[in-house]
Structure 1
Amino acid sequence: MKSMNFHRYRQFPGINLSDRQWPSKTITKAPIWCSVDLRDGNQALRIPMNLEEKLQMFDLLVEVGFKEIEIGFPSAAQVEYDFARVLIEENRIPEDVTVQVLTQAREHLIRKTYDALEGVHKAIVHFYNSTSTLQRDVVFHMNQEQIKQIAVEGAKLVKSLKEEYGNPGIRFEYSPESFTGTELDYALEVCHAVMDVFEPTPDNKLILNLPATVEMSTANLHADQIEWFCRHIRNRESVLISLHTHNDRGTAVAAAELAVMAGADRVEGTLFGNGERTGNMDIVTMSLNLFSQGVDPKLDFSNINRVRDIYEACTRMNVHQRHPYVGELVYTAFSGSHQDAINKGMKAQETREDNFWDVPYLPIDPQDVGRTYQSIIRINSQSGKGGVAYIMEREFGYKLPKAMHPEFGRIIQQITDQTGDELPPHEIWKAFEQEYLNRTYPYHLRECHIQMNASEEGASDTIVKAVVGINGDVVEFEGKGNGPIDAFVKGFNQYSNVHFSLESYSEHDIDHGSDARAAAYINIRKSSGRSAFGVGVDRNINLASIKAILSALNRLEA
């Protein structure tokens, strides 16, 4: 086997934090959420959103419950600037929502950003400059003091312009971009210098956003970085520590969760993780992770299909079929053992005394996010008998007796083996109908009269007079027994050359009301030893049972 060039890379250094506290913490409340779909997410699109799409996305984010929304980079493009102006001039921003705008710590960009915010009720001016070791060396060719001075001068300008514009609703956020690639003590030094300019207080907090602009380490090391920073930042009560994790290593959600455990107050991210390269932290996943642990996520994803549809329309991106909580297949089981466990779990859930959700393979109830139970179990060649029975009950109301599951399961297995594809519910029903309900040869019930007699002693007998088609001929017979089924079997065995006995019987209503139909399931065994189930449906349960007997006989003759 060829060896990959792993020696070209070095391990991310650990953090000197031997007494770390975050591993023993749990998340008991949602962080402050900030959506960056309209800025970071939009910048990553092959075709950026136009003004109408931006407005539709903004309305969706408000509907979901975001109270802080980064609406763009007004100094970067005209559509970004125009979008901010439309939101403000048309009064589209709810009073409880704060918009956020991003700008580099450069004077002309900051000034244009303020122009875009003129007349806004509440806003966060988010300015940044890169502080990482690598970018200082290869991009800016500046030393630590020079980079820090960029941050300080930017802070002074955004503060002075707030006073110049006379808008008390402006707040500030600073990001030492590529925080995770910056020496911790130097990142702290730069943030302290920025704090010296703003002089934040517990009533007027500064947001310090610590972006993992490129995810460079395991999630636990990122948590160590955040805990170290939270411990060492001065006037901790006067700052909000914000996260902005990216997904280069595929662990952005985990990194954000552990970093919240490490002390962070706020999380920036996007719907479904849209963003540059491998994307931003997926707020849908993280918030529903909290939801699954009994924590109020403070965001409403109870109609997740609508959120997905608008997202896909606005971004022209597709949500993966296996996306947590949202993908088409995430609440679906094809495996027979999984289907059996889900089927049993769903039935047990209906009788639980407490209100807690506890079903195998389903971490949350799909209905809590607006999904249905219709596609929980889907049938292919890997599926089992329990899954087929689940579909018949959930989709069509037929509660097949357990002893019948293997028989019908084998019938469906033969079909899926031949097609090699998934078998949708309507095809399962078609196979059931053809196999059990539509067989009329060689036996077919043409007419049946049932007479029940009761004696004074309490004993009773039943007489069945039936007209049955047998191999195209019409046969009339009469039978007497202790009930309609017994009478029909005795009469049929007496007047035909077919002899069989009943092995099992079950029945249930399919519909509700006075004209409800009943389904009967009867397993019969012929004298030869062969046995089969039959199914009958009729508004009269006795007739349904007799039809089920003939169904089974027809299947044995097939």
Structure 2
Amino acid sequence: MSDQTTPTAVAKTAKITPKNAAFDFRKYRPFAFAPSLPDRTWPSKTIEKSPIWASVDLRDGNQALIDPMTIEQKMRFFKTLVEVGFKEIEIGFPSAAQVEFDFTRKLIEENHVPDDVTLQVLVQAREHLIARTFESLKGVKRAVVHVYNSTSRVQREKVYAKNKDEIKEIAITGAKLLKEYAAKYPETDWVFQYSPESFSQTETEYAVEVCDAVCDVWQPQQGQEVIFNLPATVEASMPNVFADQVEYFCRNLPQREHVIISLHTHNDRGCAVAAAELGVLAGADRIEGTLLGNGERTGNMDIMVMAMNLFSQGIDPELDFSNMSEIVQVVSECNNLPLHPRHPYVGELVFTAFSGSHQDAIKKSLDYNENNQTETDNVWDVAYLPIDPAHIGRSYQDVVRINSQSGKGGVAYILQRNYGFNLPRWMQIDFSRVVQKQAEAVARELQNDEILQTFEDTYLQQGKFELLDYNVSNKGGEVYFSGQVQMNNDTIDIDGTGNGPLSSFIDGLAQHTGKSLHIINYAEHAINPHHNSGNGIDDDTNSDNKTNANAAAYIQLNVDGEVYSGIGTCSSTVSAMLKGALSAFAQALSVAAA
């Protein structure tokens, strides 16, 4: 055997060092608290109904603000949460600050709490704080008192310097105190909630042990309502690992059938919504979070996003976000935090496509749906749009916006949606080149009125080229055109023959100018009356061929071997096609002159 070390062996035994000592990945270790769950069942499940939602905006969200909310802001936020449909709302930490206590009293004493809404408050497992908490809730019809203590290894060892038994005893003591103080206020329907804080970084079997000890105190099997809330106080693992922790907990808690399992995920790894969704698959009944995801560090689980995810899958989220713009305004103003333009579902740009291929697909999907409507097929199915923006109070105004990256479909969509021009494909290609050059020249997004102006300048206002008057007649199977056209301040008589008004007009133009003219493509459509204002459409009183709505005609003309496109609009379809041909011809002369 050779003593020479192979390259593979060297690679396996070489010491790996970071390229930058200040960015040293060796300080970190793989997640250490994943339970062994080889027979996990959650991957094969689907979410079929909405979980119980609990908003913690007024507590967890509030504590993460640079400037915590005033009582007035909290009241405005609370009313919005009620209007959205939340039935459980954590309103604060009454024992932590006077403003929190006063807000709790204000809600109760002034009857701001609907009968179907349950208040929730947070408190540490310490007697004087628990006593103050129950005092704040005096007279409430129903309330959740949420007690917690941290159970994670790092907190046990480095923060509290206590062993597992001592930490469990804190939880047991807190549970006993809740039961004791609740008995002093028998007029209230009390729900007890316990959180092993930092559940995600706690040995899962130990979390089960602590919660089972709390069950021994509260006796949920005897009728006491109990919630166990499992927080990913710090998101430290992939969502699938968190789901394993939740399923392990649900399987192994002896009183599982008598309690509600709640989740409270944070967004340190950017996966809070995913972790909550997988946690529901793993057996959780309830979700705590905030609207738009405000919370400590990178934020809490965004209830709006998770609810809209369900909505987009045809599941009733049991929360109403149809007035999304107003909800976002309240949340942003009360939190004094801006909303990212790409925030899922609600950001300014989330339903906006700049990419040409995206715009084209959106336009074609919407056109297909409009042209193939049936009474039984009302399912939303549009490329690049996961939901109908109208369902959350958004219009189609900003679905497509135009910059230098945009393509023919986007430009066509703008003209069709706003101004009634349904450009055929060959015209889309022609005009998109014009728009792209303009966008590149100004180096920014183009506004709709700028696109319309460019459209009119290119096709509808061809300088001094104008169809003045004409007459079309049939003789011996041929169509005769006779009329006048203004070209560069000269009035020119045009006479021609053909098999229709357009071909006879083209024949007359060819005879007068000596150019070779051939029609390549032609299309026309009526324009709805509500699109007529301010879009360059005019009337023509010289023809008997009028329509009830204005018409647009698109002409692609071969002039001496080169292809040019033109558009004409008029209340007469014949006049529109003639103007379209003149528009294309005027472009040809303009290019030749340049």
| TM-score greater than 0.5 by the shorter chain | yes
- Which position in structure 2 is the counterpart of 1:325? 345
Q: CA deviation at 1:44?
A: 0.5
Contact 1:439 1:551 in 2 (8 A): yes
1:486 aligned residue (485, 496, 503): 503
Matched, 1:400 2:451: no
* Contact 1:448 1:464 (8 Å CA) reproduced: no
Other structure's SS at 2:306 match? helix
Q: 1:506 to 1:358 in 2, by over 3 A?
A: same
When structure 1 is superposed on structure 2, of 314-323 and 417-426 the one drifting more is 417-426
Whether 1:549 aligns to 2:581 is: yes
Question: How far has the Cα of 1:494 moved from its partner?
Answer: 3.1
Partner of 1:428: 451
Residue deviations 1:216-236 (CA, integer Å, cap 9, x gap): 111111111111110111121
| The 10-residue stretch of structure 1 (537-546 or 93-102) with the greater mean CA deviation from structure 2 | 537-546
Residue 448 (structure 2) pairs with residue 448 (structure 1): no
Note if 1:37 corresponds to 2:50: no
List alignment gaps of at least 5 residues for structure 2: 1-18, 531-546
Query: Are residues 1:501 and 2:533 paired?
Result: no
Measured on the aligned residues, the alpha-carbon RMSD in Å equals 1.8
2:583 is paired with a residue of what secondary structure?
helix
| SS across alignment from 1:34 | strand
Pairing 1:69–2:126 present = no
Task: Give the Å deviation of 1:202.
Answer: 7.5
1:368 aligns with 2:391: yes
**AA aligned opposite 2:511:** Q
C-alpha deviation, 1:465, in angstroms: 3.4
Q: 1:211-257, CA deviations, whole angstroms, 9 ceiling, x for partnerless residues?
A: 11111111111111111110111121111011001111111111111
Instruction: State whether residues 35 and 204 of structure 2, in contact with CA within 8 Å, keep that contact through their aligned partners in structure 1.
Output: no
Q: How far, CA to CA, are the matches of 1:162 and 1:544 in structure 2?
A: 81
Shift of residue 467 of structure 1? 2.2
Q: Specify the code of the residue in structure 2 equivalent to 1:276.
A: E
Match of 1:523 among 556, 560, 563: 556
1:2 equivalenced with 2:20 (yes/no): yes
Contact 2:212 2:255 in 1 (8 A): no
Superimposed CA distance per residue, residues 472-515 of structure 1 (whole angstroms, 9 cap, x where no aligned partner):
11223344444322332233333444442222211111124975
Counterpart pick for 1:307 among 319, 327, 333: 327
Contact 1:532 1:556 in 2 (8 A): yes
Return the letter of the residue paired with 1:519. A
| 8 Å contact from structure 2 (residues 140, 188) kept in 1 | no
* CA distance in 2 between partners of 1:344 and 1:125 (Å): 54
Counterpart residue type for residue 554 of structure 2: Y
Structure 1: gaps spanning 5 or more residues = none
CA contact (8 A) 1:450 1:484 kept: no
Q: Name the count of aligned residue pairs.
A: 551
CA distance in 2, matches of 1:320, 1:557: 50
Pairing 1:377–2:396 present: no
Using the TM superposition, name which of 322-331 and 40-49 deviates more: 322-331
1:37 to partner: Cα distance:
0.5
Kept in 1: contact 2:190–2:225 (CA 8 A): no
CA contact (8 A) 1:518 1:540 kept: yes
Measure the CA separation in 2 of the matches of 1:345 and 1:276: 41
Out of 461-470 and 289-298, give the one that drifted further.
461-470
Can you list the C-alpha shifts for 1:345-384, whole angstroms capped at 9, x where unaligned?
A: 2222332652222222222222222222222222211111
Note the C-alpha offset of 1:534. Answer: 0.8
Q: Report the AA paired with residue 444 of structure 1.
A: E
Q: C-alpha deviations, 1:411-442, integer Å up to 9, x for none?
A: 0111122222222222111110111111123x
> In the alignment, is the contact (CA less than 8 A) between 1:332 and 1:378 conserved in 2?
yes
Answer yes or no: is 1:249 the counterpart of 2:269: yes
Q: Which residue identity does 1:153 align to in structure 2?
A: T
Secondary structure of residue in 1 paired with 2:220:
coil
Secondary structure in 2 matching 1:15: coil
